[in-house]
Amino acid sequence: MLTVKTELLEALRQALDHLLPGAGEKAAFESPKVAAHGDWATTAAMQLAKPLKQNPRQLAEKIRALLLAHPAFQTWVDAVDIAGPGFINIILKANAKQQVLHSVLTQTSAYGTQATNGQRILVEFVSANPTGPLHVGHGRQAALGDALCNLFATQGWQVYREFYYNDAGVQIATLANSTQMRAQGFQPGDDCWPTDPDNPLSKNFYNGDYIADIAADFLAQKTVKSDDRELTASGDVNDLDAIRQFAVAYLRREQDLDLQAFAVKFDHYYLESSLYTTGKVAQTVQRLQNAGMTYEKDGALWLKTTDFGDDKDRVMRKQDGSFTYFVPDVAYHITKWERGFHKVINIQGTDHYGTIARVRAGLQAANMGIAPGFPDYVLHTMVRVVRGGQEVKISKRAGSYVTLRDLIEWTSTDAVRFFLLSRKQDTPYTFDVDLAVARNNDNPVYYVQYAHARICSVLASWGGEIATLAHVDVSPLQSAAALALMLVLAKYPDRLTSAAANFAPHDVTFYLRELAACYHSYYDAERILVDDETVKLARLALVAATAQVLHNGLAVLGVSAPKKM
């Protein structure tokens, strides 16, 4: 059906160019808000009315006449109607909609994807500091990041996944001190356990049971291995640095286990500490000073971020000689650019909103030719978890929050991924554990997966080779339910392109729910395994194509497509 759309768009382009040279560049179809109005629509008449100084309704009639005279419209279009102030609605012939089945059944898993475009993209996500288990907010990041990577891969990009984390600093020091006290036999509630609310170190001490687990394994001189490091504990309770290194390695392994359970893999782990040890931070500061973008004030070094749209200049180096947190961020993003990634997406919580202007200002001030607006940001809100009608806030394992692994253990990887992707990322989301395990149509992931399993059951009962269905006669597919299902199948490639362009994997979940609903309606309307062989094979081709697109869409989300449920 892509060929059909291409031919019809070319006809529309020619018609618009005939009326106003150059207007054809904006030729486009959209889906009518009311399905009964047609299969596709165009608002071209209303767009051209002002420059042509003509009534849009009368202009629509002229466009309609030009379209109906074009061979492509004569071949594929049943009717072209005018509605309202100048909407042009297009009703396709059945044979136009039927073209999609051959495309799906011959391209199979490649249906909806684009050819390699030779471009590289780096997506940084999760990026959790190794101070505790991954929480559900990290889970939302993992689902978003992985799905966005898959989406860009469908559009021909070479995708690179990166995890950036802080392996030094105050939080890591707090982790080391908390673990040392546990190793010394103390625990939260003991008289010596820091509780002073005015002491930042005390206030942020980690009280979860996982700290006791780290301490026990350190004393037992265990060896831990993660994707980016391996370390054997010394067992020396007085060696705080050894405790720090072991705790970081231990929690990196724990995070890896969480990510494995979530079926997320990274190409590279980038350490914040390496920006200092390799001199990247010092080089960045020197580069900004050489560009004349810094100044000294009150014993601190400032960056002129207001020159690039920030609301005020920002301190780079404090009076004590330490750097503010956005300086290594700028250095890190310079490395991304230098590594050849000129398309970069960062996925972070909405609490990082304030860093965007500072990082971009620093990159522009570096005078390296970095494009304005680099990098792109996708910011997400946190997630509430409800179970048994009550909000769940505390995990014994973590001490103060629900972990990603808790959520997976309570439900499933498929449910967590689909649910966390089922809303726009900047929309607050409540994860209903009870709904996620329900086996009914109210559970969206079950509803979509059941549609796939239902089709697989039909195909198994038939027992033939699915590949042969790509070449059967599908002309018997004339019913309203069949035609509606084919039209939804044809939307899939454009939905992928749009979802990637708008950083919107939730659009894929919406599409899959729409497709599943359309299939369930078709299944209720027509029996598939009928006696008439020609009709049976045509209907089998339709449902097999539907199963393939459901499988493809679920794969983009990182969700399985079960054959039985």
CA distance 545 to 99: 11
pLDDT of residue 170: 80
Say whether both 361 and 447 belong to one domain.
no
Do 220 and 196 touch, CB atoms closer than 8 A?
no
Cα angle 303-307-313, degrees, rounded to a multiple of 5: 40
Say whether both 366 and 471 belong to one domain.
no
Say whether both 473 and 545 belong to one domain.
yes
The answer to whether position 424 is within a domain reads: no
Pick left, alpha or beta for residue 32 (phi over 0 → left; psi -120 to 50 → alpha; otherwise beta). Answer: beta
The mean per-residue pLDDT over the stretch 177-205 comes to: 75
Q: Say which amino acid occupies 297.
A: K
Give exposure, 361-370, as e/b (b: 16+ Cβ within 10 Å).
bbbbbbeeeb
This prediction's pTM = 0.91
pLDDT tens digit sequence for 204-216:
678 888 999 999 9
Average pLDDT of the chain to the nearest whole number: 93
* Residue finishing a domain among 362, 380, 398: 380
Q: Identify the residue whose tokens are 């997406």.
A: 345
The answer to whether position 521 is within a domain reads: yes
pLDDT of residue 205: 78
Residue 498 pLDDT level (bands cut at 50, 70, 90): very high
Residue 187 pLDDT level (bands cut at 50, 70, 90): confident
Least confident of 282-291, 319-328, 502-511: 319-328
CA distance 145 to 503: 10
User: Is 76's pLDDT higher than 70?
Assistant: yes
The tokens of 83 are what? Answer: 């509605």
Omega of the bond leading into 372 within 30 degrees of 0 (cis): no
Do 163 and 126 touch, CB atoms closer than 8 A?
yes
The answer to whether position 478 is within a domain reads: yes
The tokens of 367 are what? Answer: 């005078």
Q: Identify the residue whose tokens are 């003991």.
A: 190
Say whether both 359 and 463 belong to one domain.
no
Say whether both 446 and 538 belong to one domain.
yes
3-class DSSP state of 447: helix
Tell me which residue range forms the domain holding 40: 2-92
The mean per-residue pLDDT over the stretch 272-292 comes to: 95
Query: What's the CATH code of the domain at 38?
Result: 3.30.1360.70
User: Is 50's pLDDT higher than 60?
Assistant: yes
Residue 399 pLDDT level (bands cut at 50, 70, 90): low
pLDDT of residue 202: 46
Torsion, Cα of 414, 419, 424, 426 (10° steps): -110
The answer to whether position 123 is within a domain reads: no
User: Is 558's pLDDT higher than 60?
Assistant: yes
* Residue finishing a domain among 380, 404, 421: 380
Do 88 and 80 touch, CB atoms closer than 8 A?
yes
Say whether both 552 and 451 belong to one domain.
yes
The tokens of 241 are what? Answer: 């640095």
CA distance 82 to 93: 18
Counted domains in the chain:
3
The answer to whether position 468 is within a domain reads: yes
CA distance 276 to 282: 7
User: Is 193's pLDDT higher than 80?
Assistant: no
Say whether both 447 and 538 belong to one domain.
yes
Burial of 134 (0-12, 13-18, 19+ CB in 10 A): buried
Say whether both 449 and 364 belong to one domain.
no
Query: What's the CATH code of the domain at 316?
Result: 3.40.50.620
Say whether both 370 and 454 belong to one domain.
no
Residue 550 pLDDT level (bands cut at 50, 70, 90): very high
Residue 325 pLDDT level (bands cut at 50, 70, 90): confident
Say whether both 553 and 452 belong to one domain.
yes
Say whether both 445 and 367 belong to one domain.
no
Say whether both 282 and 373 belong to one domain.
yes
* Residue finishing a domain among 77, 92, 107: 92
Q: Say which amino acid occupies 437.
A: V
Q: Which residues contact 380 (CB under 8 A, 6 or more apart)?
A: 137, 140, 141, 144, 347, 348, 349, 350, 425, 426
The mean per-residue pLDDT over the stretch 480-486 comes to: 97
The answer to whether position 237 is within a domain reads: no
pLDDT tens digit sequence for 535-544:
999 999 999 9
User: Is 241's pLDDT higher than 80?
Assistant: yes
3-class DSSP state of 346: strand
CA distance 49 to 23: 12
3-class DSSP state of 412: coil
pLDDT tens digit sequence for 405-442:
999 999 999 999 999 999 999 999 999 999 999 999 99
Query: What's the CATH code of the domain at 482?
Result: 1.10.730.10
The answer to whether position 527 is within a domain reads: yes
